[in-house]
Structure 1
Amino acid sequence: MELTSVATPASNKSEKMEEKGEKEMPKVEQDQMQEEREPSTLILFWLCCVSALEGMDTQLVPACQFALQRDLGLQLGHFAVLFTVQMVLTNLAAPFWGILADRGTLKRKTILMLGAIGEGVAITIFAFVPNFWVMMFLRGMSGFFLASLRPVCNGLIADLTSDNKRGKIFGRVQSALLVGMFCSLLIAGNVANPYVGNIPGWRFLFAGGGVVAFIVALGLGGFLTEPPHQLDESAKVKGCAAVRTELCTVLSFLRIPTFCVMIMQGVFGTIPWSVMGNNLLFFKFCGLEDWQASILAAEGTVAGVFGNSIGGMIADALARRFGYHGRPLSAQITVAIGIPMVFLQFYGIPPGEGTFGVYFALIAVFGLLGSWAQSGTNFPILSDIVPASDRSKVMAWECAMENSLANAIGPSMVSSLAFAFGYKFGAEELSGQSLSSARALGQAMAATICIPWMITLAAYSLLHWSYPRDMRRLHAKQEAAKEQMQV
């Protein structure tokens, strides 16, 4: 698999040797080093911290659903609105941050710091909110700043990592996101509901989240060393011409069949993940204790930490064995395993009949075997199909396009279906157990997750056609450009 050239420490060393008149490194050895590139431990650590910060935020509000319904009178539909507002701002802002990064307008380190600081301000103020309307504004603010984190992180990883190791590195950073989700869920599940004096625990929870975000921002400023970034000629264009250039870039992405397939699978593949945060409420209504429900809700993220790492390495191995068919095959395997596990969890086992141990086993299998697609397939393929100078942008646009639809559909769909099936939040629910509401929520969750994932499974099959085709075209274009430069 041909690699797009980027500036690396090895290339800088080669330039210095040439200046001194020393013998250059043999080409075979240079090629071998290119095939074994990956981020340094320090850079990878801070990229993982950024990813963990995003994971922490995604679970704060879902983990506090019971307390917020109790203290502020919110309904299930309010949480759907909060989530949708946040994701709309995320989707609108992601291309903006990606363009700033790829054009070199701001250093990628600076963008990550701004994202962490903005997120810290938003969730700190959330700790003092009096009503739903202020919450809605703050979740939009969080969405705007969180949008800067993932595209820039993914662009850095793609630049610093060789093709045959991208699944492994993306898996580690994705695992860090799940670690953030795990910590948020585990702490929130036990802290959000009790009171400290007259102050509900969820307010302390959000204030603590703000402190974590500020610490990450300080760490990035003090310790993250930004690697060289390859820019193309379009980065020199300014003003209205720059806007036209970026629009042309987006249109060029849409002419890549694999990019369109990734959007298609992303829309249906993201709908289930947009509603997974309801599982804590589901377990609580099933009659499980707070500590049991929080462990189960957090368990999926812990298993996913290992699952993402395993999935990334499996996808790398399949790519070495089957070429451009390996990563699509890995995604098909993981989605096919995940669908029955989720179906059993929310629908196959009637609420009240499932034990803590049974749910624990189902979630463990799903986390280990049903979470490979993002790290092993999606991010590596998006890194491959465009030149190095467009990697942050292609990640940002793909996420924006898929999430715009997925997050508009998922939360509202599960909320509407749950009420249609008989969900309510009354005196019985306040007592902690309500099998009728659990049954209604479980049916809504099963439908909202399993049906879209069946479509996602079919969409991944199309990559067996589009991905090899697009890679051949990209390599031919790069070879033609090299020959023209030599002439």
Structure 2
Amino acid sequence: MIHPILALILFRMQEYFSKFTFYSITALHFFSSCRSKKIFGFSVSLILINLASIMERADENLLPAVYKEVSAAFNVGPTDLGYLNFLMNFLKSIASPLAGVLAIHYDRPAVLAIGTVFWALSTGAVGVSQNFQQVAFWRAVNGLGLAIVIPALQSFIADSYKDGTRGAGFGLLSLIGAVGGIGGSILATVMAGKDYWGLPGWRLAFLVVALVSLIIGLPVYLYSTDPRRIPGNHILDDDDYERLHLSSKDVLPPTSIWIDSWVAMRSVMKVKSFQIIVLQGIIGSLPWTAIVFFTMWFELIGFDNRSSAALNSLFAIGCASGAFLGGVIADHMSQYYPDSARIMCAQFSAFMGIPFSWILLTVIPQSTDCWLAYAVTLFFMGITISWCATAANNPIFAEVVPPKHRTMIYAFDRALEGSFASFAAPAVGLVTEKIYGYDAKTVNIVNGSAEGAYALSRGLLTMMIVPFGVCVLFYSPLYLVFKRDRDTAKLSSFKDQELI
């Protein structure tokens, strides 16, 4: 005979188990229904992916927004700060192929979740670091997380839109992601000037972004569905979905993950359009890496934290608007000039970086009285120089390889472009210090420094105007090879379909 207390315990356990089973089944049904829901015509998956993009951009903009405070906290100058950016970007670049390898055999929401954990934990660790070496180590780990996330995000968007609308799709991703970039920059810049409960504001900003990133990463993993597994995708039409679905399957019996990855890598590296875009991107990424010093430059001129944050926000708003505008314009023009419109849009955008950089860094007097002139210039500069990725690079990548290789091509683009471009930040520091005489020991960072602002502006000018000009020239060979590569990719997809 069972003891009454034991019988009661067993009864309660059975009751709790029944409730747990009921709630688990209910949760599974809820997860499944959420995956199929649409909000304002967009799937929950796309919405969550864009939320992840918001947090990714917020994370990237945190450290540059508090360069002044980090410089004071650890007694380092522009060169050392540039090395922090170099470490993150270099690891983010060379580790990017890992995203392509993972995406071949795993759903991209799972890949995104893995990357999110890496970047969130490392961002929080930067906020509690006690010396410069610790900051450097965790920034490197942060780059590893972003290396996994960014190519997966880009290929997710490429698979969710048709050929004629990808510019708008990538532009929308950039526009929404800019909200995170602006938010992260404003949050860090404004909080950096104060202490909260005895904790410096710049440290608290890192902890807040880390926590929110983890919170966003969970629903991305639970609710997002890889476009390759969605029959009747709400954006792809039936023909496009069928081609995407069939060509993403293995034509031959599955081999090892490394053999599949090696085949994908070789296929991507042979594409001429990919080679050309990567070559121009190595040069074209240099100005964008140098731009991380804008906040420090504004504060050396004498602008306070709020004014600097406002200037950065206007530039970010201009870039976000320009990325979307450029994508839409390229989509529209490609209907009439399918072989050249995207290339022309990219060349126009790269060229506009030359006059705007000159006006911003040399023509406008470096004085706090010129805030409005800086604001207007930065806004229109952002609108015009931000077209290349959304109007040309990303849509072209999606068209010149079969769908099953899209994550790999975005991953290798980041690996090759970013690894070289990551040298720009320390290069700006070296040019600023060695050529133009910036001295971190004598420059008064807190109250501004005319000499320091001048030296930094000349370092930025050197790393912006020349690369923008070279980038314009390097786009030209695409006029000869893009059409051929696009037709080859379509033929490959159709052959895969026939074999199946």
Q: TM-score range by the shorter chain?
A: 0.7 to 0.9
1:211 and 2:185 correspond:
no
Paired position in structure 2 for 1:359: 374
Does residue 266 of structure 2 align to residue 264 of structure 1? no
Cα distance 1:151–1:370, how it changes in 2: closer, same or farther (>3 A)?
same
Specify the alignment match of 1:228 in structure 2: 228
CA distance in 1, matches of 2:192, 2:64: 11
Match of 1:71 among 73, 83, 89: 73
Partner SS, residue 351 of structure 2 = helix
In structure 1, distance between residues paired with 2:393 and 2:369: 34
**C-alpha deviations, 1:120-153, integer Å up to 9, x for none?**
1111122111001111111111111111212111
* Corresponding residue number in structure 2 for 1:414: 428
Distance 1:197 1:50 in 2: 29
1:254 is aligned, of 259, 263, 269, to 269
The amino acid of 2:149's aligned partner reads L
Shift of 1:160: 1.7
User: CA contact under 8 A between 2:300 and 2:445: conserved in structure 1?
Assistant: no
State the distance in 2 between where 1:354 and 1:388 align: 52
Contact 2:112 2:221 in 1 (8 A): no
Q: Could you tell me whether the CA contact under 8 Å between 1:116 and 1:146 is conserved in 2?
A: yes
Please identify, of 281-290 and 436-445, the stretch whose mean Cα deviation from structure 2 is larger: 281-290
8 Å CA contact retained: 1:311, 1:375: yes
Give the residue type in structure 2 aligned to 1:330. C
Is the Cα contact below 8 Å between 2:95 and 2:148 reproduced in 1?
yes
Is the Cα–Cα contact under 8 Å of residues 251 and 496 in structure 2 kept in the other structure? no
- 1:95-114 mapped onto 2 (5 Å cutoff): 95-101=97-103, 103-104=104-105, 106-114=106-114
Structure 1: runs of 5 or more not aligned: 1-37
Q: How far apart are 1:407 and its partner, in Å?
A: 0.7
Question: 1:335 offset after TM fit, Å?
Answer: 1.4
TM-score (ref. length: structure 2): 0.84
Q: Per the alignment, do residues 251 and 481 of structure 1 end up closer, same or farther by CA in structure 2, a change over 3 Å counting? A: closer
User: For this pair of structures, how many residues does the alignment match?
Assistant: 443
C-alpha distance in 2 between matches for 1:431 and 1:471 = 53
Structure-2 residue corresponding to 1:25: none
Shift in Å at residue 352 of structure 1? Answer: 2.5
The superposition leaves residues 423-457 of structure 1 with CA deviations (integer Å, 9 ceiling, x where unpaired) of 12245423421111101100110110111111111
CA–CA distance in structure 2, aligned partners of residues 392 and 368 of structure 1: 28
Q: 2:295 aligns with which of 271, 280, 301?
A: 280
1:172 aligns with 2:172: yes
Do the aligned partners of residues 42 and 171 (structure 1) sit closer, same or farther apart at CA in structure 2, a change above 3 Å counting?
same
Answering whether residue 403 of structure 2 is matched by residue 405 of structure 1, we say no
1:294 is matched with 309
Matching residue within 93, 96, 103 for 1:94: 96
Please, which runs of 5 or more residues in structure 2 have no aligned partner? 1-39, 230-244
Residue identity matched to 2:459 = A
Shift of 1:107: 1.8
Counterpart contact for 2:303–2:368, Cα < 8 Å: no
Is the counterpart of residue 118 in structure 1 residue 121 in structure 2? Answer: no
Q: Which residue of 1 aligns with 2:405?
A: 390
Q: 2:389 maps to which residue?
A: 374
Q: Deviations over 1:356-376 (max 9, x none)?
A: 010011011112222111111
Tell which deviates more after alignment, 298-307 or 411-420: 298-307
Quote the residue 1:201 is aligned against: 201
The corresponding residue for 1:48 is: 50
8 Å CA contact 2:100–2:407 kept in 1: the answer is: yes
Mean CA deviation greater in 429-438 or 275-284: 429-438
Q: Which residue of 1 aligns with 2:151?
A: 151
Q: How many angstroms apart in 1 are the aligned matches of 2:226 and 2:254?
A: 23
Q: CA deviation at 1:93?
A: 2.0
Equivalent position of 2:4 in the other structure? none
Residues 375, 235 of structure 1: alpha-carbon distance in 2 compared, 3 angstrom cutoff: farther
Task: Tell me which amino acid in the other structure corresponds to 2:76.
Answer: L
**Is 468-477 or 128-137 further displaced after alignment?**
468-477
Change (3 A) 1:320 1:449: same
Aligned to 1:346: 361
Shift of 1:244: 4.1
Q: Which amino acid in structure 1 is aligned with residue 488 of structure 2?
A: R
- Cα distance between partner residues in 2 of 1:244 and 1:217: 30
Matched-pair contact (CA < 8 Å) for 1:66–1:193: no
Give the TM-score, by structure 1 length: 0.86
Distance 1:201 1:353, change over 3 A: closer
Shift in alpha-carbon separation, 1:235–1:477, aligned structure 2, 3 A? closer
Distance in 2 separating the partners of 1:44 and 1:479: 27
Post-superposition offset of 1:481: 5.8
For residues 258 and 39 of structure 1, do their structure 2 counterparts lie closer, same or farther at Cα, with a shift above 3 Å needed? farther
- Per-residue deviation, 1:68: 0.9
Greater mean deviation of Cα atoms: 351-360 or 106-115: 351-360
1:326 equivalent to 2:326? Answer no
Shift of 1:339: 2.0
- Asked if structure 1 preserves the Cα contact closer than 8 Å seen for 2:315 and 2:381, the reply is yes
Q: d(CA) in 1 for partners of 2:496 and 2:215? A: 45
Give RMSD over aligned pairs.
2.1
Counterpart code for 2:334:
A
How many Å separate the matches in 1 of 2:253 and 2:439? 57
Specify the alignment match of 1:450 in structure 2.
465
**Aligned mates of 2:392, 2:398 — CA distance in 1:** 10
C-alpha distance in 1, partners of 2:369/2:253?
A: 61
Aligned to 1:368, the other structure's residue is in SS state helix
The Cα offsets for residues 59-86 of structure 1, whole Å up to 9 and x where unpaired, read as: 1111111111111212222222211211
Instruction: Quickly say closer, same or farther: Cα 1:357–1:421, change in 2 above 3 A.
Output: same
| Structure 2 Cα separation of the partners of residues 245 and 98 of structure 1 | 11
